[in-house]
Structure 1
Amino acid sequence: MVLDTLDRRLVCALQLDGRAEPGLLARALGVSARTVTRRLARLRGTGVLRVVLLPRAVDEAVGALLLRVRVLRGQVAAVADALAARPDVPFVDLMLGGQEVSAAVVTDRAGRDRLLYRQLPGTDAVTETTVHAALHLFADAAQWQAGLLTPDEVAVLNPAPVASLPGPPVEPDALDRALLAELGADARASAAAVAQAVGAPESTVRRRLRRLAAAGLLRTHATVDPRLLGMTVDANLWLALPPARLAEAGRALAAHPQVHGVLATSGPHNLMAAVFCPDYEALYRFTTEVLGPLGADRVETAIVGRAVKRAGVRLALPGEGRRGSR
């Protein structure tokens, strides 16, 4: 499927506000609400676009595991599929070359131990596993934007921040958790649909959703193949930095528009950045012009051959319809 300019701009608008109403999206993009509704139905109906709910990033990212799994040639797809089928694995990539799978694991200690000490070693196809622990999050997938909107259009979708709720942080109760669960796989579900699903009055659901949004619990992610947005190269950059430069480098990369994730990690490389680039020449420029001044002792560039799962969403192969979910 090919996305035209309006499709791409619509995706960019949803990157800013995944639950924006068609009327607001139409006003930001300068088209009719009917056009937005029709385009959204096509993008979502074909599985090209999904808007999902993300947890508070720091709750999951810090302490998560970043795996680099070496696999026998010819077995990489099976190992990637097995990892992608796990609900505690939100990200899975096949790396270029066909012998490595990259994955993020968010689980408790018991789940971690089963995976690392029993399941992966017990798989004949796996030859080596490298594990990094995420120590600090600088930016995650929800913060990446393709950058196809003007500042005025962004302002329509990003009004003044909602004032923080007074008192202690919001602790979701049973109804809140039910609402978040309903929105998990389809963050654009209407308040009416969510109310019907959980058996609560629509007015109550709307009030609760506003409360959850103000507490930062309605973080959305517009999941789409970045190649459809003109980003043909996806790479994981592993940097080894002097400790005194780590925080500054992490903040600088988090602010860069091509970066869709930055983590401080354990291991010989202490910073990992995931980047989208239009082509290999752009990746070269990113390496020399952006990474160069950061003062890394060494950099490893690992190219993603195919994204299998992103933000909990199983991605379809070219020519496939919708498949899988969180």
Structure 2
Amino acid sequence: MATYLDTPGRVCRSLSEEDMELVHALQINGRASFREIADVLGISDQTAARRWARLRSAGKLRVLGLTDPIRLGNSVWLVRVRCTPDAASSLGKAMARRPDTTWVNLDSGGTEISCSVRTRSPGPEESPLLQKLPRTPQVVDLSAHCSLHVFFGHDLGPINKRGPLTAAQVAALTPPDTPDRATDATPPVPLDDSDRQLLDLLARDGRAATGDLAAATGLSPSTVRRRITELRSAGALYFDVEYHPDILQQSFRAALWLEIDPSRLAEAGSALAAHPEVAYATATTGTANLYASIDVATAQLFYRYLTESVATLPGLRHTATAPIQRTLKGPGPYLPTTA
């Protein structure tokens, strides 16, 4: 589950049960028609459309069409930047404006920035950001860890674990062209210029009308529909729901870095992915070879999670945590905060 740009001091407000059903449906199938959603939820399509319009216009959520880096032959690097306290906010905002970054967070009391950086090659040498940061005077220390295997994330979020829809409703909404997860043997999906333009538009509005996408790309509506289906079937394109932080119902977020015995890494990663507190989990390079983003309501519950759930993970050798103070950018294109 994604989060909108954070603003300090916001009060958490929960969505209604009816809104949560709609959100859960959109997380499963971001481009499902209101008729398809309405049939599953047992409401009218006008009601589904009205609820969506209200939430979207209020800035509560948006649907994003995002790409799986593995299916495009890209690499993802989890980057930790420790900098001088006076520079963290400005440097983090500059990193958030870059198109090659996602999930830019201020951590550890505002002295550390963490983010995800995508590169077109297996190594970091083609990333201008990773080449520039070590030479930045305000940067005290930098480490980059390649994401090796995502255990939980992309089109899956906490609402997939805790959402109100039944298994039958989830099955009815799941697209028939949902692909298997990418593996090392999966060849990259080739893209042409029209594909890239289409994907850029979907990254800003995953539910953009086919006619609008056709007009913007110069493709026919039938070609747009066909190409979205093909890219989705190939696993290159998936849809996610991005939320404003005041509806998350969680006020304590933390980055969790774990050192796991390599022989138990797959087992530990799968177990971690099943935890309801985990919003994202991936195996990484480095001594800390398993990373997770954690969402809980309080620091006390985070302590309980560490001592009761994390402590029992197979092969656990070491644990490190960093509270997430503020999110400057989520998984979609950068949108400056107006609040």
Normalised by the length of structure 2, the TM-score is 0.82
Aligned match for 2:141, one of 128, 137, 144:
128
Match of residue 72, structure 1, among 84, 88, 110: 84
SS at match of 1:74: coil
Q: Does residue 1:303 correspond to 2:323, yes or no?
A: yes
Aligned length: 314
How far 1:69 sits from its partner (Å)? Answer: 1.1
96, 107, 120: which is aligned to 1:84?
A: 96
Give RMSD over aligned pairs.
2.7
Secondary structure, in 3 states, of the residue corresponding to 2:321? strand
Is 2:201 the partner of 1:188? no
Alpha-carbon distance in 2 for matches of 1:139, 1:4:
24
Alignment match, 1:115: 129
Residue of structure 2 equivalent to 1:44 = 56
Which blocks of at least 5 consecutive residues in structure 1 are unaligned?
321-326
Write out aligned runs for 1:150-169 (5 A): 150-151=165-166, 152-158=168-174
Superposition pairs for residues 1-326 of structure 1, below 5 Å?
2-5=13-16, 6-59=18-71, 63-108=75-120, 109-112=124-127, 114-117=128-131, 119-146=132-159, 147-151=162-166, 152-158=168-174, 171-294=190-313, 295-314=315-334, 317=337, 320=339
Secondary structure in 1 aligned to 2:319? strand
Q: Secondary structure at the match of 1:80?
A: helix
The 1:172/1:284 distance shift into structure 2, 3 A limit, reads same
- CA change 1:69–1:61 in 2 (3 A) is farther
1: CA distance, partners of 2:240 / 2:303: 28
How many Å separate the matches in 2 of 1:62 and 1:254? 23
Unmatched runs of 5 consecutive residues or more in structure 2: 1-10, 181-186
Could you list the per-position Cα deviations for residues 43-94 of structure 1 after superposition, in whole angstroms to 9, with x for gaps in the alignment?
A: 2223331211221242479742211111222321101101101111112001
SS in 1 for 2:55: helix
In the alignment, the residues of structure 2 paired with residue 22 and residue 12 of structure 1 have an alpha-carbon distance, to the nearest angstrom, of 13
Q: 1:182 to 1:161 in 2, by over 3 A?
A: closer
CA distance in 2, matches of 1:136, 1:287: 22
Percent identity of paired positions between Structure 1 and Structure 2: 38
Counterpart of 2:82 in structure 1: which amino acid? R
Q: State how far apart, in whole Å, the 1-side matches of 2:188 and 2:145 are.
A: 30
